[in-house]
Protein backbone atom coordinates (compact mmCIF):
# COMPACT_ATOMS: atom_id res chain seq x y z
CA UNK A 1 0.00 0.00 0.00
CA UNK A 2 1.33 3.44 -0.88
CA UNK A 3 1.07 6.45 1.39
CA UNK A 4 -0.63 9.61 0.17
CA UNK A 5 0.36 12.89 1.81
CA UNK A 6 -1.93 15.86 1.45
CA UNK A 7 -2.66 19.20 3.07
CA UNK A 8 -6.15 18.71 4.49
CA UNK A 9 -6.53 22.41 5.37
CA UNK A 10 -5.80 23.48 1.78
CA UNK A 11 -8.09 20.78 0.43
CA UNK A 12 -10.93 21.89 2.72
CA UNK A 13 -10.38 25.57 1.84
CA UNK A 14 -10.36 24.81 -1.90
CA UNK A 15 -13.55 22.74 -1.64
CA UNK A 16 -15.34 25.41 0.43
CA UNK A 17 -14.21 28.13 -2.01
CA UNK A 18 -15.65 26.19 -4.92
CA UNK A 19 -18.94 25.69 -3.07
CA UNK A 20 -18.99 29.40 -2.13
CA UNK A 21 -18.60 30.39 -5.79
CA UNK A 22 -21.52 28.15 -6.73
CA UNK A 23 -23.73 29.62 -4.00
CA UNK A 24 -22.93 33.21 -5.02
CA UNK A 25 -23.80 32.42 -8.65
CA UNK A 26 -27.05 30.71 -7.61
CA UNK A 27 -28.06 33.61 -5.33
CA UNK A 28 -27.49 36.11 -8.15
CA UNK A 29 -29.48 33.92 -10.55
CA UNK A 30 -32.32 33.71 -8.02
CA UNK A 31 -32.53 37.51 -7.93
CA UNK A 32 -33.11 37.61 -11.69
CA UNK A 33 -36.46 35.80 -11.25
CA UNK A 34 -39.17 38.47 -10.99
CA UNK A 35 -41.89 38.03 -8.39
CA UNK A 36 -44.95 40.28 -8.53
CA UNK A 37 -46.05 41.44 -5.11
CA UNK A 38 -47.17 44.84 -3.87
CA UNK A 39 -46.24 48.02 -5.81
CA UNK A 40 -44.88 51.14 -4.14
CA UNK A 41 -43.76 54.53 -5.44
CA UNK A 42 -40.43 55.49 -3.89
CA UNK A 43 -38.62 58.62 -5.03
CA UNK A 44 -40.85 58.88 -8.09
CA UNK A 45 -40.04 55.33 -9.21
CA UNK A 46 -42.35 52.35 -9.06
CA UNK A 47 -40.96 49.59 -6.88
CA UNK A 48 -42.51 46.14 -7.19
CA UNK A 49 -41.84 44.12 -4.06
CA UNK A 50 -41.52 40.37 -4.35
CA UNK A 51 -44.24 38.17 -2.92
CA UNK A 52 -43.68 36.88 0.60
CA UNK A 53 -41.60 33.72 0.45
CA UNK A 54 -40.06 34.56 -2.95
CA UNK A 55 -36.54 35.87 -3.45
CA UNK A 56 -36.35 39.67 -3.35
CA UNK A 57 -36.63 41.36 -6.73
CA UNK A 58 -33.46 42.90 -8.13
CA UNK A 59 -34.45 46.56 -8.39
CA UNK A 60 -31.14 48.44 -8.56
CA UNK A 61 -28.57 45.65 -8.46
CA UNK A 62 -27.00 47.09 -5.29
CA UNK A 63 -27.82 44.07 -3.11
CA UNK A 64 -26.77 41.62 -5.82
CA UNK A 65 -23.35 43.27 -6.02
CA UNK A 66 -22.74 42.58 -2.31
CA UNK A 67 -23.40 38.80 -2.48
CA UNK A 68 -20.20 37.07 -1.44
CA UNK A 69 -18.60 34.25 0.46
CA UNK A 70 -15.58 33.98 2.68
CA UNK A 71 -13.70 30.93 3.90
CA UNK A 72 -12.47 31.30 7.48
CA UNK A 73 -10.56 28.37 8.93
CA UNK A 74 -12.74 25.42 7.91
CA UNK A 75 -16.03 27.35 7.67
CA UNK A 76 -17.83 28.95 4.76
CA UNK A 77 -19.62 32.25 5.40
CA UNK A 78 -22.12 33.20 2.71
CA UNK A 79 -24.43 36.19 2.50
CA UNK A 80 -24.79 39.76 1.36
CA UNK A 81 -24.86 43.34 2.50
CA UNK A 82 -22.40 45.90 3.77
CA UNK A 83 -22.46 49.19 5.69
CA UNK A 84 -24.48 50.87 2.92
CA UNK A 85 -26.66 47.89 1.96
CA UNK A 86 -27.90 46.82 5.37
CA UNK A 87 -31.25 45.24 4.47
CA UNK A 88 -30.10 41.77 3.33
CA UNK A 89 -30.70 40.32 6.79
CA UNK A 90 -34.24 41.71 6.90
CA UNK A 91 -35.07 40.18 3.54
CA UNK A 92 -33.62 36.81 4.53
CA UNK A 93 -35.08 36.60 8.02
CA UNK A 94 -38.14 38.85 7.71
CA UNK A 95 -39.34 41.38 10.28
CA UNK A 96 -42.45 41.84 12.39
CA UNK A 97 -43.99 43.71 9.41
CA UNK A 98 -42.49 41.78 6.48
CA UNK A 99 -42.41 38.09 5.72
CA UNK A 100 -39.16 36.49 4.57
CA UNK A 101 -37.77 36.87 1.05
CA UNK A 102 -35.16 34.08 1.24
CA UNK A 103 -32.26 33.99 -1.15
CA UNK A 104 -29.22 32.66 0.66
CA UNK A 105 -31.08 29.86 2.44
CA UNK A 106 -32.82 29.07 -0.86
CA UNK A 107 -29.46 28.94 -2.67
CA UNK A 108 -28.04 26.56 -0.07
CA UNK A 109 -31.07 24.26 -0.31
CA UNK A 110 -31.00 24.35 -4.13
CA UNK A 111 -27.35 23.33 -4.16
CA UNK A 112 -27.13 21.07 -1.13
CA UNK A 113 -27.05 17.80 -3.07
CA UNK A 114 -24.93 19.28 -5.88
CA UNK A 115 -22.43 20.70 -3.36
CA UNK A 116 -22.02 17.35 -1.63
CA UNK A 117 -21.44 15.66 -4.98
CA UNK A 118 -19.06 18.39 -6.14
CA UNK A 119 -17.00 18.34 -2.93
CA UNK A 120 -16.85 14.54 -3.11
CA UNK A 121 -15.68 14.71 -6.73
CA UNK A 122 -13.20 17.39 -5.72
CA UNK A 123 -11.71 15.10 -3.08
CA UNK A 124 -11.62 12.14 -5.46
CA UNK A 125 -9.99 14.29 -8.11
CA UNK A 126 -7.24 15.18 -5.63
CA UNK A 127 -6.62 11.54 -4.73
CA UNK A 128 -6.66 9.80 -8.10
CA UNK A 129 -3.65 7.54 -8.30
Nearest-angstrom CA–CA distance, 105 and 83: 21
117 vs 28, higher pLDDT: 28
Confidence of residue 122 (pLDDT cuts 50, 70, 90): low
Average the pLDDT over 31-35 and give the result: 89
Question: How many helices (DSSP H) and strands (DSSP E) are in the chain?
Answer: 4, 4
Q: What is the pLDDT of residues 17-28, one digit of tens each?
A: 988 899 999 999
69 near 76, Cβ under 8 Å? yes
Residue 119: per-residue pLDDT: 62
Report phi then psi at 2, rounded to 5: -95, 150
Q: SS3 for 46?
A: strand
Residue 125: per-residue pLDDT: 53
Per-residue DSSP letter, 83: S
pTM above 0.85, yes or no: no
Q: 45-48 and 39-42 as β-strands: parallel, antiparallel, unpaired?
A: antiparallel
Residue 75: per-residue pLDDT: 87
Average the pLDDT over 33-45 and give the result: 88
Nearest-angstrom CA–CA distance, 127 and 129: 6
Residue spans of the domains in the chain: they are 8-124
121 vs 65, higher pLDDT: 65
Nearest-angstrom CA–CA distance, 56 and 13: 30
**Under 8 Å CB-to-CB from 116, ≥6 apart: which residues?**
none
Amino acid sequence: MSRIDFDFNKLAKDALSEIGSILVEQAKDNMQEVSFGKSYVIGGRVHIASKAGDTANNQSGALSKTIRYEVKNKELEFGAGNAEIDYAKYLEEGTSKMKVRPNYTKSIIQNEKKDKQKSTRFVYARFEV
